[in-house]
Every structure is written in structure tokens, then in C-alpha cells.
Structure 1
């Protein structure tokens, strides 16, 4: 049974708590042959829905980069804290409706904890891949999700649940944003050389730069120069 009523109520609640967008996908997309990440159903075998919740990040956090990396990182973490409060309330709502829910971490490393696999640098599943199939946006050359209203200047979290939420009707965008082919600003600005014009990302270079060169602060230069916001 598809829970249309609680889907509507859940989305309204998330937006009322401060979310800027909400999307839902089922676990089947993670069985696609083009998906190379981990699967959330390995965490929750009876998974029925992945709920993506996002907030936009204030533009001022990007304007001061690179000198303002401390302020930028602090602003991102504030976005993460906001999302966790929203997601916690949504998870409680889901459980009051008779289902179970748990919140997936939004980054490989936050607040002193390491969530991703240290060797592959992959999390339990790709939020961006789920968001693409939820119709929330498509990918940039910086390998970030490009949303229609906020570009890549966003933070996201996800809830795994056995609630059979109703997925939105949607038309998938091209996988890579059309504007990226004639831009390449993120590739050119990347101080770690982690991005290539062929569309490859070297995650280990990005991680090395953030954790060793910047001491754990986030970089943000590929977002600063992206014109799509």
C-alpha cells in the first residue's frame, strides 16, 4: 500500500521545520547497473523509501572563500545541525505512524566522527544518486548535485524507512547538467587537482587537501565559482 496521506503530511512537516526541498525514492534504483556505490538496503533490509531532505546554504558563506574557510565550514555544519533536527522530528513522525526510521549521515566526516569507508571514501549510499532519481537535480562536473533553485549550494540528509511513501511523478533530467560542458570553472579552480575535464573525480585528492592541507576545514572553491545558483 502506498501511503499518500502520510507522504503529504511528512513533506509538509519537513518544509514547515525549515527544509527547502524534499524528495523520495524507493530502493530499486540502487540495483541499477550504472550504480557503483553502497546500497541502503544493506543497512535496512526491509527498506521501502529513502527520504531526501535538503536546505540551501547562505551565499555569503561562499563569497569570502578562500580566506573565509572557517566561516564557510561553520556555516555548512550549521546546515547539517539544522537538517539533523528536522530529520529527527520526521523520523519520530514516521514511527508514530507505525513504521521505523533512521537517519543517514550526510558526509564522510562530521563533528569529529568518521562515517565513510576510509579506503573507498564512500558512504552507505549516494545521496546525490538518490536525489537525481527523486527529480531534485542533476550532476555537475564537480560531482555535486545541481538543484534548480539553489545550484550546488545545498546540504542534504536522508531518512531510511520501511514506510511505503508515495514517490513524486517526475521526468529525469540529463545526468550531467547541460551548462557544464561549456564551463569547466570548477575543474580549473580545484586546488587539489581532484576534478578532470573528462568528468572524473579523484576523491582521495579532495580528502587529502581537506583533512591534511586545510586541517579538516572544507574547501568550497568548486561551489564558489559555479554559476548555477
Structure 2
């Protein structure tokens, strides 16, 4: 596969199947000191690229919160299912071209399975960081990806591959979204105080609220509060 030609072809296929976001992060970006997560090289030793896919979450499901948490959760799961189909077809295309590909889970826990480490709540790689490296957006104080078109209202997955696709331009924005320092609406909206104004997050508070208090439903109040 040639980098530019086949990256463009993968993008076209993904968008045609319903993806709203497509980007590629080069594997060396995961060696940066600013990244504190796990490396794709831990499970694919010859990995060279991470493809990031995203779909916009319908805002009606977000505006209905907190009463509509069942509807919001169901909408997120539908987004996950859509992404899995797109990612699977792209992974098969990559492998038919003579390379290897595997699909990264969309989140730590869904459909009754745990994908993240139960102690640290860290996934095998950070899809949000991969999306930042692919210049699809940057981080909010709520630790969600803030995209230009959809704000934080996106669902994402990623494909790790040993195909050298090239990441194109480096991120054109800082790691933290510029509008967050004067906003803090997500900090105020969190029912368990999981976010701090200094950018830190207590992941266990967030997880315990969703999986214990809400019985597995997703909260979403930080997404609803975000003005982007």
C-alpha cells in the first residue's frame, strides 16, 4: 500500500460507510513524554500506524440528560456497533493488501465485557490521544476529545496496523482545548466531582458512579455541559 493513496482510499471507504471522523496517527507519537498511556507496540510489535474513526452522537440523546440516560446509553452503544462494522471492513481491506490490523475497543467496559485494566481503568491504548495526534481535536478539562465540528459529542474507535500509512500533518493545536481555562462548566456539572480545574481526573469516582449508582448506564453530564 502506498501511504497517501491508500490512506485516502481508507478515508473514502470509512466516510462512505458512515464515519464522521477519520485520521491517522504515526506510531512514534506514542513515545512522546506527554503520553502516559499504554503503547500499541505492547500488543502489536510491528505496529506502524493507528487509524482513528469517529461518529457524531445525536445531540437529542445528550439534551435529554439526566432523565434520558437509558436513551443516551443506547445511543452510545449504537454508535459503537456502527464503528465496529466500519472498523472491521477497513481491517479486512488492510489485510487483503498484505498487512495486519486489529480493532481497539471503544471504551473500558461495554456489552458485559471489561477491556480496561480494572485497577488503573486504563485501556490498552488511548484512542483520545491517537485522535489528538491525528489532529482530529484536543482534550477538554473533562478528559474528552473536543472536536471542531461536533465538540465532545463523538464516539470513537481505532485500528492498529503494521501498514505505514503516514499521519500527515502534526497536531496544529495544544493538547488542552483553548476554551477550557475560562469555562469549567463540566467541572461544575459532574455529580461526583471527578474533574478538577487543574485538569486532573478521578477515574474511579466516575466509574463507580456509572457502574454502581447508575447500574451501568452512562452519565454524560460533562458532555451535556460542554458549550462546544
- Report the TM-score, using the length of structure 1 for normalisation: 0.97
Paired position in structure 2 for 1:4: 4
Could you tell me whether the CA contact under 8 Å between 1:2 and 1:166 is conserved in 2?
A: no
Query: Secondary structure, in 3 states, of the residue corresponding to 2:128?
Result: helix
1:35-114 alignment, distance < 5 Å = 35-114=35-114
Paired position in structure 2 for 1:213: 213
Could you tell me whether the CA contact under 8 Å between 1:134 and 1:170 is conserved in 2?
A: yes
Cα RMSD between the aligned structures?
1.0
Using the alignment, how far apart are the partners of 1:162 and 1:120 within structure 2? 27
For the pair 1:115 / 2:115, whether they are aligned, the reply is yes
Deviation at 1:166, TM superposition (A): 2.5
Could you tell me whether the CA contact under 8 Å between 2:133 and 2:171 is conserved in 1?
A: no
Paired position in structure 2 for 1:183: 183
Deviation at 1:114, TM superposition (A): 0.3
Could you tell me whether the CA contact under 8 Å between 1:40 and 1:160 is conserved in 2?
A: yes
Q: 1:206 to 1:49 in 2, by over 3 A?
A: same
Using the alignment, how far apart are the partners of 1:221 and 1:167 within structure 2? 33
Deviation at 1:168, TM superposition (A): 2.0
Deviates more, 1:160-169 or 1:39-48: 160-169
Unpaired stretches in structure 2, ≥5 consecutive residues? none
Using the alignment, how far apart are the partners of 2:171 and 2:192 within structure 1? 35
Deviation at 1:208, TM superposition (A): 0.5
Number of equivalenced pairs: 228
Paired position in structure 2 for 1:29: 29
Query: Secondary structure, in 3 states, of the residue corresponding to 2:156?
Result: strand
Paired position in structure 1 for 2:151: 151
